[in-house]
Structure 1
Amino acid sequence: MSDAQASLVAIASLAFALALFAGWRAHRRTRRADPDAVGWVDWTLVQVVALIALAVSGYVALKG
């Protein structure tokens, strides 16, 4: 495995971890006790962007 592939695998794994964290936070946000206590981070958008980064970096790492 080359250095470029290793860094792409690292990016993919970090994006996967971020997607899991964002999914957990989005789940907590939808089930909050106080409906007026809205946070400033849209965790669903963060999760989608992380999944796109995971798909792209995973594809490029496996192709090259």
Structure 2
Amino acid sequence: MSDAQGLLCAIAATAVGVAVLAGWREHRRRRRVNPDAVGWVDWTLVQVIALVVAAIAGWVALKA
């Protein structure tokens, strides 16, 4: 495995981690006790972007 492939795999793994974190935060946001205590981060968008980055980085790592 080359250095570029290792870096792309690390980026993909980090993006998957961010997607899992965003999913957990979205779950907590939906189950909050105080419905007026809204956050300013759209965790669903963060999760989708992280999954797209993971898919692209993983695909490029496998192609290289």
C-alpha deviation, 1:9, in angstroms: 0.3
Gaps of 5+ in 2: none
Over the residues paired in the alignment, what is the CA RMSD in angstroms? 0.4
C-alpha offsets along residues 19-60 of structure 1, whole Å, 9 cap, x if unaligned? 000000001101111100000111000000000000000000
Q: What SS class does the counterpart of residue 29 from structure 1 fall into?
A: helix
Identity among equivalent pairs (%): 66
After the TM superposition, list the runs of 4 or more consecutive aligned residues in structure 1 that deviate by more than 6 angstroms.
none
Gaps of 5+ in 1: none
Q: Structure 1 length normalisation: TM-score?
A: 0.98
Which amino acid in the other structure matches residue 23 of structure 1?
G
C-alpha deviation, 1:63, in angstroms: 1.1
Which amino acid in the other structure matches residue 34 of structure 1?
N
Q: Structure 2 length normalisation: TM-score?
A: 0.98
